[in-house]
Structure 1
């Protein structure tokens, strides 16, 4: 298990690209230091199986009295972490007849055709297990995504302001660009983004999860296949906003609204063998539901050993043997 922080997909995107599972929890669910520096950031585990995700979630989700979000929400109002009992059930035989899954089809198809095909197979697989697929619409989604970008860039610029203006502190070039962009935003722009956030929270939670009684909203995890790294990236990094936005197409809603989201591997690209992820977005504090659904999705695709050229053992440098 590894611990990640997700302000714009930084748990789910690398997990999806690496063929593992990643859970970005409800904002405030997992306490961590410097939690007050971002309204989009949340912590969560990356792990190879849904069982590892479940155990990691229980371990990490204990309220901490010194945590910013624990104090902000109030420890008495934080629901205790729990799990649906999976020990007596075979996920392959789970009956999902009472499960309702929302799909925004117009948005769902905005990815690579092969990723779309695999993601559609996952929806059909869940439907075959008894789940009801509900057609949904999320209005002003482009504005919601833009507002997320404004907020996270402004918070990033604020967090890195001192190192940015310290000439002895070297930042990677793309980081400098992001900080500079964040420092140019006005209070009116940030307040406008917050108004859109208020609308989006009300609409998604009240109209979709509560009104349509959804258990999750499902989509592809990435807006494209895993991209190739360009020449020279090791020395300088890469600044490619268009590519980043394309990859993040299904990411921002969970961060901007503070909702939990899980990515589960569902297949592999035919030409490269690189993995494809599937996303389940839940209402606040619904991690147990996402984990249960993830245990079903996990049955869709048998895991493959990564090709040698795409695999790096992160433990090897730390092990003596």
Structure 2
């Protein structure tokens, strides 16, 4: 989810204005307050001027954060502070005083899409294991002997799902052996000081039972699919029976019981996947760093003093550490792509409605999806093939195109890759904390041109600030709606301080402001659909900074740092607000050895196109992968 918890801190300092009225090509002033926006189809894109975010806000942690939260939660003074700050800051003036000509768009609405080329279409109503088998046929040739011995390269590489499958089928390992190694590592993590757990819910005996059943299937020669015996983690806001879903709180599992698997978990289980437990996360998904004062903050496998990114912090860290081949996360504001980028792995956000959200804590929202995190693009493809399938309601309202995968072993797929037009908004692309990020991402774009003929086309994206505001109001309103019954029962005081700051902000949203945000949503959708008529994908860095340092004072109470949130979220909002598919793929490291990710945003339902390009990026990356400082080889047991 996004990082709205930090907005009030910035307002308090009166040092940042996120929504500016200086963009006169887009806005026409009428009187002192009322502003009439030009219809979206009349916006002159040649006049769009990029305005870099200027973020100057204090970092609050420990006692200062506690005092701030107490102040804004106070019945009288709190509301006065919020009212004053909103009046002083133009961010909410956009919603209250603007005349927005577009009708509201409460959920993503997609125009009909042209079919993708060089793809294999999957049967949405078929068995998950059959879809996985089709996905397997789409992958390049696998040389089992070379991949298993590691003689093909002197550099580090992650074990892939096909490596595990080969080991299981050849008798070099079995799921029970792998699980025992995993359990030993979890015991190590339980002794860490300060605590940095990857899993919130973990049951060694239940895990052994799953592994024993899978091992028996291999002994009998009847594995369920290529995913049989593959161990995966599930983010703590997705149901995975018999584990509770706490959303990394201390209490949410007491008011919401888990009685069965989420739909996506059930689909993977039918393929033989072994679930190790519920992965750590930023509480309630209300943050971008992965900080968790309740259970401990996961550490970045590449640098233990750095954040993993959030809110799917545990899933990304457990994959990057080599402990799981893949994990399931949720993404409402970059929560899969941000930690994937910061941890040097691959994260896929599908089109809104492509996967069934039933059984997650955000199954009624309009910006969030469930998606896979894995070490490689091919592993993301295999997991995606298993979990895809729209809900009955979404099939009626969204009319999704057939799910497809790129056939990476065909010449037709290579031709489709060469014809791709990559949209790049250069000024936005270069608005990063470190030039290492934009330089490494640019290098890959140049290699795509040299190797495959992919052309980069300059684009301009108007109303980026309006997009951020519409997303904030949308996701904040939906979060508050889900939490309100428990919040009113006094459970708010059991949340972490940064989550409580979020809720103060969310409660200040009005019905008219929400409708105005949905009008902005339609405008932003129009702009992006027009851009995607001229280009096939939009490319950006995934994040505007690499993994930030964990302040020691933030471990016990939490923190607010708007500068970090702004840098982490700079490029990730559109796929959530508009429901577009996007993937983050590693492209190298900064001068401190921290991973950098490239984000590829596609047309609605065009997961195949972005996965094809992500696979090409992965193959072209000139830097060898670096072995994370915290890495465990549980396949060979080294």
Per the normalisation by structure 1, the TM-score is 0.88
The structure number with the bigger radius of gyration is: 2
Pick 1 or 2: higher relative contact order, CA cutoff 8 A, min separation 6.
1
Aligned mate of 2:495, from 152, 166, 171: 171
Deviates more, 1:155-164 or 1:178-187: 155-164
* 8 A Cα contact 2:585 2:599, kept in partner: yes
Tell me by how many angstroms 1:312 deviates: 6.0
The alignment partner of 1:14 has SS state of helix
* Residues 71, 178 of structure 1: alpha-carbon distance in 2 compared, 3 angstrom cutoff: farther
In the alignment of these two chains, the number of paired residues is: 306
* Residues 16, 82 of structure 1: alpha-carbon distance in 2 compared, 3 angstrom cutoff: same
Distance in 1 (alpha carbons) for counterparts of 2:435 and 2:562: 22
* 8 A Cα contact 2:353 2:391, kept in partner: no
The alignment partner of 1:217 has SS state of strand
Aligned mate of 1:121, from 436, 440, 443: 443
Corresponding position of 1:225: 546
Corresponding position of 2:231: none
Distance in 1 (alpha carbons) for counterparts of 2:416 and 2:364: 42
Deviates more, 1:257-266 or 1:122-131: 122-131
* 8 A Cα contact 2:542 2:598, kept in partner: yes
Distance in 1 (alpha carbons) for counterparts of 2:555 and 2:446: 40
Tell me by how many angstroms 1:242 deviates: 2.9
Distance in 2 (alpha carbons) for counterparts of 1:254 and 1:228: 27
Tell me by how many angstroms 1:42 deviates: 1.3
Aligned mate of 2:614, from 288, 294, 297: 294
What is the alpha-carbon root mean square deviation over aligned residues? 2.5
Task: Spell out the pairing of 1:202-213 with structure 2 (5 A cutoff).
Answer: 202-205=526-529, 207-210=530-533, 212=534
* Residues 17, 94 of structure 1: alpha-carbon distance in 2 compared, 3 angstrom cutoff: farther
Corresponding position of 1:26: 351
Task: Spell out the pairing of 1:1-321 with structure 2 (5 A cutoff).
Answer: 1-33=326-358, 34=360, 35-65=362-392, 68-70=393-395, 72-73=397-398, 77-88=399-410, 96-111=417-432, 112-128=434-450, 129-168=452-491, 170-205=494-529, 207-210=530-533, 212=534, 214-271=535-592, 273-301=593-621, 302-308=623-629, 311=630
Tell me by how many angstroms 1:41 deviates: 0.6
Corresponding position of 2:15: none
Distance in 2 (alpha carbons) for counterparts of 1:172 and 1:315: 34
Tell me by how many angstroms 1:241 deviates: 2.6
Distance in 2 (alpha carbons) for counterparts of 1:144 and 1:307: 36
The alignment partner of 1:226 has SS state of coil
Unaligned runs of at least 5 residues, structure 2: 1-325
* 8 A Cα contact 1:157 1:178, kept in partner: no
Residue by residue over 1:176-220, the C-alpha shift from the partner in whole angstroms, topping out at 9 and shown as x without a partner, is 111121111011211111111101111211x1112x1x2100011
The alignment partner of 1:203 has SS state of helix
* 8 A Cα contact 1:100 1:215, kept in partner: yes
Distance in 2 (alpha carbons) for counterparts of 1:95 and 1:69: 29
Tell me by how many angstroms 1:313 deviates: 5.4
* 8 A Cα contact 1:157 1:181, kept in partner: no
Unaligned runs of at least 5 residues, structure 1: 317-321
* Residues 239, 164 of structure 1: alpha-carbon distance in 2 compared, 3 angstrom cutoff: farther
* 8 A Cα contact 1:264 1:277, kept in partner: yes
* 8 A Cα contact 2:401 2:605, kept in partner: yes
Distance in 1 (alpha carbons) for counterparts of 2:428 and 2:508: 30
Per the normalisation by structure 2, the TM-score is 0.46
